[in-house]
A = this chain, B = another copy of it.
Amino acid sequence: MTGVLRPGHCSLRVLDLEAALKHYTEVVGLIETDRDDNGRVYLKAWDEQDHHSIILRQADIPGSDYIAFKVDNKATLERLAKAIASFGCKVDYIPAGELKATGERIRFEIPTGHHVELYAEKKKAGNGMGDVNPAPWPDGLKGMQPTRMDHWQVHGVDLDGSVELFTKVLGFGLSERVLDGDRLMAAFLTCSTKPHDIAFIRDEEQQDRFHHVAFYLNSWEEVLRAADIISKKNVSLDIGPTRHGITRGQTIYFFDPSGNRNEVFSGGYIYYPDSPTLTWTMEELGRAIFYHIRELNERFMTVMT
């Protein structure tokens, strides 16, 4: 492995910060950890140790400004910065402290047009249970109570380019893919033993599209509870509860008040570097995405931010 640890944070643009905050704390169940002078609000899921994983920013259009992966140390950050530049992406350095509690970040635009960051340092906030004789879960949780921000799905034209960057430069594994004949339509990439840490989907027309940010739940019963909360709180449901063929995850999708898609899910399998890449064909694309209904819905395929 090349030292990329995990999805670390992403900035979400929201049209109404208070409505968004209410959604991400009371519906999703993240915990607000900080605010900054730019009006940004920092949030984390309960079992994350680091200071934040979601940054909310008020804006005129929804979407994600950037997604960021944490790497294991500054040497890795420096090494990857050079490799990314050699790959052909311009690499910018963002000084420590631009985001609260966060060290220096590098930012680069990947072939699908998304802004991706790497960083090595973020202050710990802890998971609320301490490091000595911890309980299995903390009291006082709200909403869906995800344990972590888990992954993102993003779409863009130059799918092959982004996949090449992530696999050859950043060292991600290709756990699953969708092929249309020989043409790669979707790639599920992992820097860990999770079935995916990021998913790239081919878009025939547009770059830099954001499909969803996903949070992890502990069980299928928690997916049901999330589904109930979605309805009780009149949140806009996209689809679910159901299972994905890809990753085997049990899932439900919904929208924040600004139209950004969220997923909460559980399950999946353990991916190892020697695991076979699983391939889905276009005839079974419905089953790949929504294993039970076996058909795609227009909204899921076209609505993005």
Chain A interface (Cβ within 8 Å of chain B)? 1, 5-6, 47, 49, 70, 72, 124, 131-137, 139, 147-148, 192-194, 218-221, 224, 227-228, 230-232, 237, 240-243, 245, 248, 250, 252, 267, 269-270, 272-281, 284, 287-288, 291-294
A51 to chain B, nearest CB (A): 12
The 5 closest A-B pairs by CB, nearest first: A133-B284, A136-B248, A227-B292, A131-B276, A221-B221
Partner of A219, one of B136, B221, B227: B221
A214 to chain B, nearest CB (A): 14
Partner of A292, one of B6, B134, B241, B243: B241
| Cβ-defined contact, B293 with A237, below 8 A | yes
Q: Which residues does chain B contribute within 8 Å of A288, judged by CB atoms?
A: 133
Chain A to chain B contacts (Cβ below 8 Å), 10 pairs: A6-B272, A49-B274, A131-B276, A131-B279, A133-B281, A136-B245, A192-B270, A194-B270, A219-B221, A252-B292
| Cβ-defined contact, B218 with A72, below 8 A | no
| Cβ-defined contact, B274 with A72, below 8 A | yes
- Beyond contacts A49-B274, A227-B242, A228-B291: 5 other A-B pairs, Cβ-Cβ < 8 A, are A135-B231, A192-B270, A219-B219, A220-B221, A231-B287
Q: Which residues does chain B contribute within 8 Å of A218, judged by CB atoms?
A: 267
| Cβ-defined contact, B287 with A133, below 8 A | yes
| Cβ-defined contact, A292 with B136, below 8 A | no
Known: A242-B227, A291-B228. A5 touches B72 (CB 8 A): no
A124 to chain B, nearest CB (A): 7
Partner of A270, one of B132, B148, B220, B291: B148
A251 to chain B, nearest CB (A): 11
| Cβ-defined contact, A269 with B147, below 8 A | yes
Distance of A248 Cα from B124 Cα, bound (Å): 21
